[in-house]
Structure 1
Amino acid sequence: MKTVLFVLLDQFADWESAFLAPALRGGIMPGRHAVRYATPGGVPVRSIGGMTLTPDCDTETLPDDCAGLILVGGMSWATPEAERIVPLVREALSHGILVGAICNAASFLAAHGFLNGVRHTGNGLEMLREWGGANYTGEKLYQERQAVRDGNVVTANGSGYLEFTRECLLALEADTPEQIAASYAFNKHGFYQE
């Protein structure tokens, strides 16, 4: 069993990991991935919706069995606390571990130059330029899509949580592509398409 580490900062977006974490823990292919939640300093954080979460660990190191690092978006990715995540992202990328970033977490990756060599998306090209400044030179690789997977990097905008889930599950080989597609379709459309 491999661990997927979800990084949460204070004011994290409740919905952005709401489909991915359960799918990894047992909704699609149980027993292949363990989910752990991490925060800087290992302190409890509060979501945008007011839910308080006590993490499993801090963000000092990746687990030895880490298969994925998921940066859950929210309102604190431009704070000093977020800067503590840079070494973790660098370590994950250097070891070929999946790095997923959604919403403002994708902007955080742009601000630190992590998106300059991969196809990616986020909350709009203008926001990536604003956050990234001189560190962001990947404009030509930006795609106007809900989620984009390029190698071991998955990015999404804040409304692309289902597409983000699908792309992360595919990258982690959490199940067959057909089963992942069926799960995506069900969550996207429900029992009835309107």
Structure 2
Amino acid sequence: MKKEILFVLLNNFADWEGAYIATNLNAGVEPGSESLYTVKTVSATKAPVRSIGGFSVLPDYAIGDIPTDYAGLVLIGGMDWFTPEAELFVPLVKEAIEHNKLVAGICNASVFLGMHGFLNEVNHTSNGLEYIRNYAGTNYKGEPYYRNEAAVRDGNIVTANGFATLEFSREILFALKADSPAKIERGYRMNKTGVWEDPISE
């Protein structure tokens, strides 16, 4: 049975930030390859959420009816991570980290992780050190662990800046062991460069 990865979507979410990882998890890293995971969406309620790009998504789960056996959380960025609604997800993230599940945040979702102290002792990145320092507030004490990189994976925690959708996807696939490292890298290169590479036989 496939394991569920929950994409946390708030209103005005950045739809492009989850596109690559959702496809790779739900359909497999390469055409014809086995998919080990299925993507589900979660929001504060089951009411539709609308992306920055204008897509409406009907969440699979409200925050109160999430199954306990999910394999990880992917927090998609957007300005609403600075709203009271986002605070509803703090216990969920805390529980996921305590149970060694994947927790991934991109763009302002990485700032949200910093706001609540989840990045204080793990290597991470965001939209710049000054950005996370200014927006995360006094609970953020993770400056010594900040890395000025596109995406950073430290154990089961993955962070990325808002321009690093492909790097975010790659590090999540590695963290989840979604396929062989060679296939994950090949898929990353092709999407990054737009140049087709011959399939890898394993």
- Fold in common (TM above 0.5): yes
Asked if 2 retains the 8 angstrom alpha-carbon contact of 1:3 and 1:63, the reply is no
Q: For residue 135 of structure 1, what is the aligned residue in structure 2? A: 139
State which of 101, 106, 111 in structure 1 corresponds to 2:110. Answer: 106
Deviations 1:66-115 (A, max 9, x none): 11100000121000110011011001001000000000000001111110
The CA deviation at 1:24 is: 0.5
Partners of 2:96 and 2:83 in 1: CA distance: 21
Q: TM-score, normalised by structure 1?
A: 0.96
The CA deviation at 1:132 is: 2.0
Partners of 2:59 and 2:178 in 1: CA distance: 23
Give the aligned residue type for 1:152: N
Partners of 1:148 and 1:60 in 2: CA distance: 30
State which of 48, 57, 78 in structure 2 corresponds to 1:44. Answer: 48
Alpha-carbon RMSD across the aligned residues, in angstroms, is: 1.2
Corresponding residue SS for 1:163: helix
Equivalences for residues 15-26 of structure 1 within 5 A: 15-26=16-27
Give the aligned residue type for 1:188: K
Aligned residues: 192
Unaligned runs of 5+ in 1: none
Deviations 1:15-57 (A, max 9, x none): 0000000100113143310110011112211000111111111
Q: For residue 118 of structure 1, what is the aligned residue in structure 2? A: 122
Large movers: runs of 4+ above 3 Å: none
Instruction: Please say if 1:12 is aligned against 2:16.
Output: no
Corresponding residue SS for 1:70: strand
Partners of 1:60 and 1:119 in 2: CA distance: 30
Asked if 1 retains the 8 angstrom alpha-carbon contact of 2:106 and 2:168, the reply is yes
Asked if 2 retains the 8 angstrom alpha-carbon contact of 1:44 and 1:52, the reply is yes
Q: For residue 83 of structure 1, what is the aligned residue in structure 2? A: 87
Give the aligned residue type for 2:110: A
Partners of 2:177 and 2:96 in 1: CA distance: 17
Partners of 1:114 and 1:61 in 2: CA distance: 23
Unaligned runs of 5+ in 2: 197-202
Q: For residue 60 of structure 1, what is the aligned residue in structure 2? A: 64
Asked if 1 retains the 8 angstrom alpha-carbon contact of 2:107 and 2:161, the reply is yes
Q: Call closer, same or farther: CA 1:67–1:159 in 2, change over 3 Å.
A: same
Q: Call closer, same or farther: CA 1:85–1:161 in 2, change over 3 Å.
A: same
State which of 143, 149, 166 in structure 2 corresponds to 1:145. Answer: 149
Partners of 1:165 and 1:31 in 2: CA distance: 15
